[in-house]
Structure 1
Amino acid sequence: MIARSLLFSGAMGSSIIALSIGSPVHAQDAEASLMSDIVVTARKRDETAQSVPVAISAFNGAQLEALGVTESKDLGKFTPGLQWKSDSPFGGNVIFVRGVGNNTTLFTGSPAVAVYLDEAYLNSQAFHGFSTFDVDRVEVLKGPQGTLYGRNTTGGAIKYITRQPDPDKGLTGEVNVNLGNFGLRKVDGGIGVALSEKAALRIGFVSHDRGGIYDDYVRDTKTTDVNVKAIRLQLLVKPTEKFSILLGGTYARSRSDDVRFKRVDTVDPATISFGPGGPSFSGRCANPGVGTAPGCTSILQLLGVPDDLNKDAFKVQSNLSRRESLERVDSWGAWLTMNYDFGGATLTSATSYYHLNLKGPQDVDATALNIAAIYDEGRPRQFSQEVRLTSDGSGDFRWVLGGYYFRESITQLKPVNLAGIGIGFGSAGKQKTDAIAAFAEGSYRFTDALDLTVGLRWSRDKRDVDFTYFTFASDGRENYRYADVLAAGFGPGSFTLNGRKKAWSNLSGRITLSYKIDDQAMVYASANRGYKGGEFNFGSDNPVTAGFVDPETVDAFEVGIKSQWFDRRLRFNAAAFYYKYRDKQETLFDTGTATLSNADARVKGVEVELTAVPVQGLTLNAGLSLLDAKYTDFPACQPDGSACDGNRLSDSPTSTLNLLAKYDFDLGGRTASIQGGANWTAKRFFDFRNVGYIADDGYWLFDARASYEIMDGLTAALWVQNIANTRYYTNGFDVSAFGYSLLLPGTPRSYGGSINYRF
């Protein structure tokens, strides 16, 4: 079942200005330099990214704006090994790091790559599509996080750290205004004010509007517009120098037009037959491609759907108007973080609650006729509490220990309306999750150069599920909600399973040995295990398969180097890794359902990140990922019952490359900058069956930006993304029962201008 969800929280702010060696550097220039030392909290204490023996890509807020990172999924263009895709304007997020991920966007699923907003772990993928706003930095931690982070994850962690109130500053703030094609109107930023010597307030905000970016060539309209509003308030109180209290709250809403798919017909017309149950087919055509290739058809065409002869990825068709395809999302959250400094250690308590309501349709026949549609309804609510004690980092022994509790309640409703043939099916369910964990990590410095880190985490997850699979008679309406299903009554084949419970426990952790060659270079080696708890099969249409699948684990081994050379004119970081992936939780799309299964795999690869300042004002940046990710034991995954052993993992391109060149120069006593970027993604399959037409063959994307510092604190810029207007796809689904697949187009050429003001 094609599923998706959503949250957002705004836009990412600032601009990037590279380091100018030997010339005056303004404060914003220094913050935005690609060679700057970004302070991260990957190990729950402040450290520079270069000093942490963990593969991590970090960006501060000033860097993200110029890189064009206005939505969370844009991070994938600039982070080696990261693939981020979604099948709705801001939701349905599926994240892969180094080939590790789970290709499902069910509200009830837990991600293989965890997403954090400050101290809060956001579990449901409904929360992961936010474009961020008023952000201080983003940290992408690669590899299993089996010790320090919330609920354990097998792929990595992405941390968004917002700008915090500061009692030591008076009135400060930042406003970004972006205007562009497709009717882009976006304003975001934040304002902070000191209320006293011991209290401060910060307000972050975003308003993001954009028209449709795809042409519906049948209806002669534009589709997939954006309408997002969000606000965040944070109050910091420091009663004493040792004690701080941070209280925050946020509200966000979206009324955005849902995505449109491009159809690929795959049926051999000669194999179609008609029986008591209607039309069926037994063979696929030889060379299916985007639209309707010669010698291909689909069962949809037997219902009156004409051939789709338009091969343009940005030209789609749909029977849904904007009113009929509107996603309605409302979310709010609150958090309380307290820190007390005992002198040698700091006690932290982090409490959070997040709440979301989503209702929204998808046109999953990709035609102008009312054949098939899904209406998602999801209501995740989550509460988390972490308490930890962290040493101050002085001395040869540094340590962290703590406990974690997580509780989540989710209601998920998903009717699939096959109005074209007068039937429908779907699922309704409630899931409660309780998770507890205890963790500890210690690092010991044997010498000034040699350091050893050992960490362990014990975790226990418990799921409590009520589940109903239903069929119903469709009356032909375009959007069939769950309330409509209840009114019509359940049909034959429906069943209910209530009170299904299961719990899992696991011990995971990490051991890392690092060695400083000198003050500029460090090598490290690590072995760690990541764990993700079991899942219930909410996509099942059969009581036999409507059960739990096993937890997945990843044993990861990595060696790496972090280094800076030639008086900080060259930064070279690299890592080589090998993963043993056990019981990977895979989603089998077939006949409109999404059945979970377990599979084993192995992953190996190399990543390189390089930044250089060869001459004054010129910065060059490159990131390379080489990946070999294959299944080693995946039985009965094919429609004919054969195995997928040896197939490539979905969303694991063999190579990605990002390049950036930026030149800063003096113009009238002010800083002017020009930059160009290129991003390559090799062929990637969107399905573990490695079907050629559910894939993208690889593509380049080119971006450019020019900026000028008009006055202190005020910068103007012009930008363009996807200069060549490259047609590409970011996701795909095999809808086997109807003999076609769906591809999700990427973003066409976008251009505009921006103003950034800091005070």
Structure 2
Amino acid sequence: MKNATRLMVTASAAAMMLHPGIARAQAQEPETKHSAALAEADIIVTARRQSERLQDIPVAVTALDKSFLENHTVQNLTELSQYVAGIKIETTVSPDQYILSLRGQRSSLVLSGVDPAVGLYVNEVPYSLAIGASQQFYDLESIQVLKGPQGTLFGQSTTGGAVLFTTARPTDVLEGSLKGGVKFFNGNSGYYGTAVLNLPVSEKLSVRIAASGIDREGYIKNKGPFPPIPGTPIPEARLNSRGTGDFSDDREINGRLSILFKPTDTVESLTVGTYGKMWTNGTGKHWTANNPNGFVQLVYGFYGLDAQQIFSDYQSMLKQNFWSAVNPIDQYVNTKTWGILNNTSIELSDTLTLRNIINYRHFHRDQRIEVMGAPFSIITPNNPVDGHEWSEELQLQGHALDGKLDFTSGLFFFEQKTDVRTGGVVLSMQPTDVYSNNVARSYAVYAQGTYSFTDQLSLTLGGRYTWDDRTVHIDGLSRVVTPTRCSLLVTGGGAALPIDACVIANSVSYSTPTWTVSLNYKLDPETLLYLAHRRGYRSGGLSLYGTSLTTALPFKPEKVTDIEFGTKRTWFLGGEASLITNLAAYYSDYKDAIRNISPPGGNPADILLTNASSAKIYGGELEMTLIPVKGLTIAGSAAYVHAKFGDFPTANGDATGNPLANVPRWALTGSIRYAPMDNENGKISLGVEGYYQSMFWFDDENQTPGVDGPIDSIRQPGYGLLSLRVDWENVMGSNIKASAFVTNLTKTEYYLGGSTLLYTGLGANAAVPGDPRVFGIELGIDF
């Protein structure tokens, strides 16, 4: 707590020292308040479920508006990390399963019935199981990253933050656009395109149609079996449209229909229908460590082969081409989603608005992957998921007490139902099937208001009470055993159980209050200071993927209570010069952190969800945007997170005092964008962008080199990425835009995350490589 207090005091002192200089600059050039800076300062966000200026709200938010998204080729969630310091996004298991981390809060796995630590919202509705979320990356109005517990206004209380996607709404203008591009990388290529048509059907009705497609070969070269086990068939890779079967590829077809109906001046109804289909060869993984006494060695030794020599040859292959991999199975991931949303608002009076937001989303996912990346099949899960989510929210917004009070209140309901098959092969043993279904329901009532005592001083109070119900039914029948016994759900002694004992049915319920308190002070019209205290909550539940009596157990909710000091300021430096600085410092008390750990003994593919007793987290973020002269923008951000467990003994060792896995202590972003030409022939912009993140561990438990493997197989050292971009808008006075870009210019070799199972029965570690250097060309036309 002393470190957190010291950090906040330092931040406060820095803000006070900066302010006199700001005031002087403002006094010298008051007429410049309508300079280019206001385009940055006037970004509108919906972090408090209302449209407000980013610089006016007491919440740490990074907002990427439509202009930013149009000048960057952001096609999936993982790319957000390079633009938002502090958020870390992984796809270590599958390219359609995203694990998000903010301020040390992270979901260790993407599982049905397990709420995310960082929530994903599309048009204000939660994507709890984030299948299909990345397929919304087209025709967006904005992406907002909210940092810290979101325990009051959002549909699923989250402990780390929330990422909000807002799709473009229909307008009353007949317009459209076409955009397409090509990428080149690692000897492969890929194409992508987006089409948008906006139709004002009448004064009361507008329609917007948007579609996107991607056909990209894999970033990771498929080297095939290496070598195959004698007598085993060589799998045929699933080929894309150009005949390659490389990994970490992307093939998508997505569509969206938005209908805006305004029958009267006081009623507005927005309906959005979506469809998405994605199919891929899955994520390419690297075999990063081999246990000479492990199972891989045992299997190869049975055929007279030396696994250690094969591992050495594998490492030689990676030295020649880091972006290559070996897979012993026919691997694939296919997803299909569709959904419909309606958001209706009715102005009851000049001061009251009633909103109703209802959403239904269906998803189907089929997957067969090799988890460990070794040439021999170690863990090969086959996990089809079929399910839906739907939510209903009734909300009342308004103003009261002569406009001094702004408030939002509401009722919320959410349901997720999934049918899951947890099947596959472990260590080449008999294939197994576990059929499970899950029902997760959440009910909540909430209210939040901001009362302005004066034009400068205001107080925000918010509260939410949430009830969560979780029900799980697991049928542990194995398809290869006798009809009267099952082998997957076993007793502690390892004996097969009678068939009537192979079913687990359980339910749990939780309820809790969460809240927000924020004291906000406007030092002057362009300076905001705030001190906030919040509580976030992530529901407990039952592991839908538990395959033994010792892993299909309840886990408790986790709770985060924090205190945050922040300041936001727009400096006017004279002429067109301006600077925006947003600073936040926080301390979080993290209780009953939900983690997955390796179960003691039993099936090594089991997922045991449990609670660490506590963790202490403190840190801060700084975002700056400088416009020294017209046409030149310099931006940067930094995030610092100090996150360590308290008491956390496990059956496999003591993780007490360990840093939280996959949480780099430092993350930095920086960019310089300059427009040397802006005239009747168009606008040319040149951009340079950099990203850096410090070292992080792959696993909460395994952080001891030598015991858990070579240090390079259990952690990712710090690394940096450099990108370049050139945009030419309104080419020669036309409505055409041309762009060229290169990402990871220096071909930095790095891992997004990894698995450390070297000294389990599996005997291997694995890691997922990040993207290689990518060149791209893009053309677009507006009409």
Shorter-chain TM-score: which interval?
0.7 to 0.9
- The one-letter amino acid of 2:462's match is G
The equivalent of 1:384 in structure 2 is 391
- Change in 2 beyond 3 A, CA 1:740/1:88: closer
The amino acid across from 1:152 in the alignment is: S
Equivalent position of 1:596 in the other structure: 609
Structure 2 residue corresponding to 1:620, chosen from 624, 631, 634: 634
Aligned to 1:630: 644
**CA deviation profile, 1:157-180 (whole Å, cap 9, x unmatched):** 1110011112xx231223221112
Aligned to 1:513: 519
The residue that corresponds to 1:610 in the other structure is 624
8 Å contact 2:378–2:762 — kept in the other structure?
A: no
Aligned-pair CA distance for 1:458: 0.5
Is the CA contact 2:685–2:728 (under 8 Å) kept in the aligned structure 1? yes
CA contact (8 A) 2:692 2:718 kept: yes
Q: Which amino acid aligns with 1:696?
A: Q
Shift of 1:392: 4.9
- TM superposition shift of 1:540: 3.0
Q: How does 1:179-578 map to 2 (within 5 A)?
A: 179-181=182-184, 182-218=188-224, 222-267=246-291, 269=292, 272=293, 298-299=297-298, 301-302=300-301, 304=305, 305=307, 306-307=310-311, 308-310=314-316, 311-312=318-319, 313-320=322-329, 324-342=330-348, 343-392=350-399, 395-418=403-426, 421-425=428-432, 427-469=434-476, 473=480, 493=496, 496-566=502-572, 569-578=578-587
**Equivalent of 2:121 in 116, 128, 131:** 116
What whole-Å deviation, never above 9, does each CA across 1:60-82 have from its counterpart, x for those lacking one? 12202434422122111111211
Aligned counterpart, 2:148: 143
* Alpha-carbon distance, 1:401 to partner: 0.8
Counterpart of 2:110 in 1: which secondary structure?
Answer: coil
Letter in 2 for 1:700: G
The AA in structure 1 aligned to 2:698 is: F
Give the residue type in structure 1 aligned to 2:385: G
Identify which of 656, 660, 663 aligns with 2:667. Answer: 656
Distance 1:716 1:336, change over 3 A: same
Q: Does 1:694 align with 2:694?
A: no
Kept after mapping to 2: 8 A contact 1:422/1:473: no
Who is 1:132 aligned against? 137
Q: Which amino acid aligns with 1:100?
A: Q
Question: Are the structure 2 counterparts of residues 486 and 721 from structure 1 closer, same or farther at C-alpha, using a change threshold of 3 Å?
Answer: farther
In structure 2, the partner of 1:172 is 175
684, 702, 715: which one pairs with 2:696? Answer: 684
Q: Which runs of 5+ in 1 are unaligned?
A: 1-21, 23-28, 273-278, 281-296, 475-484
Distance 2:254 2:679 in 1: 38
What TM-score comes out, normalization by structure 2 length? 0.84
Post-superposition Cα deviations, 1:720-758, rounded to whole Å, max 9, x if no partner, equal: 000011111001112332111110111111111111222
Q: Which amino acid aligns with 2:719?
A: Y
SS for the counterpart of 1:258 is coil
Cα–Cα, structure 1 residues 114 and 206, in superposed 2: closer, same or farther, change >3 Å? same
Which one is further off, 729-738 or 330-339? 729-738
What's the counterpart of residue 745 of structure 1?
Answer: 769
Q: Comparing 246-255 with 141-150, which one deviates more in the overlay? A: 246-255
Match of 2:21 in 1: none
Using the alignment, how far apart are the partners of 1:504 and 1:488 within structure 2? 35
The offset of 1:153, in angstroms, is 0.9
Match of 1:54 in 2: 59
Letter in 1 for 2:220: Y
Q: What letter corresponds to residue 157 of structure 1 in structure 2? A: A
Give me the whole-angstrom Cα distance separating, in 2, the residues matched to 1:628 and 1:687.
Answer: 16
Q: How far apart in 2 are the matches of 1:196 and 1:624?
A: 48
The offset of 1:299, in angstroms, is 4.7
Q: What CA deviation, in whole Å up to 9, does each residue of 1:693-728 have, x standing for no partner?
A: 222111111100011120343210110000011111
Give the alignment's Cα RMSD to 1 decimal: 2.5
Equivalent-residue separation in structure 2 for 1:51 and 1:107 (angstroms): 37
CA distance in 2, matches of 1:127, 1:154: 22
Q: Distance in 2 between matches of 1:119 and 1:442?
A: 19
SS in 2 for 1:154: coil
Alpha-carbon distance in 2 for matches of 1:409, 1:204: 29
Cα distance change, pair 90–422 in 1 and its aligned pair in 2 (3 A):
closer
SS at match of 1:247: strand
CA distance in 2, matches of 1:587, 1:262: 22
Aligned CA distance change for structure 1 residues 127 and 589 (closer, same or farther; 3 Å): farther
Query: What is the match of residue 287 of structure 1?
Result: none
Deviation at 1:248, TM superposition (A): 1.9
Q: TM-score, normalised by structure 1?
A: 0.86
The answer to whether the 8 Å contact 1:34/1:611 transfers is no
The total of aligned residue pairs comes to 687
For 2:369, what is the secondary structure of its paired residue? strand
Is contact 2:442-2:469 (8 Å) kept? yes
Change over 3 Å in CA distance of 1:584–1:514 after alignment to 2: same
Q: Report deviation, 1:667.
A: 6.2
SS in 2 for 1:104: coil
- Distance (Å, rounded) in 2 between the aligned partners of 1:487 and 1:204: 54
Report the CA distance shift for 1:667/1:506 in structure 2 as closer, same or farther (over 3 A). closer
> Helix, strand or coil: the match of 2:654?
coil
Identity, % of aligned positions: 25
Counterpart position of 2:683: 671
Cα distance between partner residues in 2 of 1:519 and 1:450: 12
Whichever structure has more helix as a proportion of its residues is 2
Question: What residue identity is the alignment partner of 1:733?
Answer: S
Matched, 1:647 2:669: no
Q: Deviations over 1:298-332 (max 9, x none)?
A: 55544555322334431211123xxx323221110
Could you say which residue in structure 2 is the equivalent of 1:15?
none
In structure 1, distance between residues paired with 2:496 and 2:114? 25
Q: 2:734 aligned with 1:720, yes or no?
A: no
Question: Which letter does structure 2 place at the counterpart of 1:153?
Answer: T
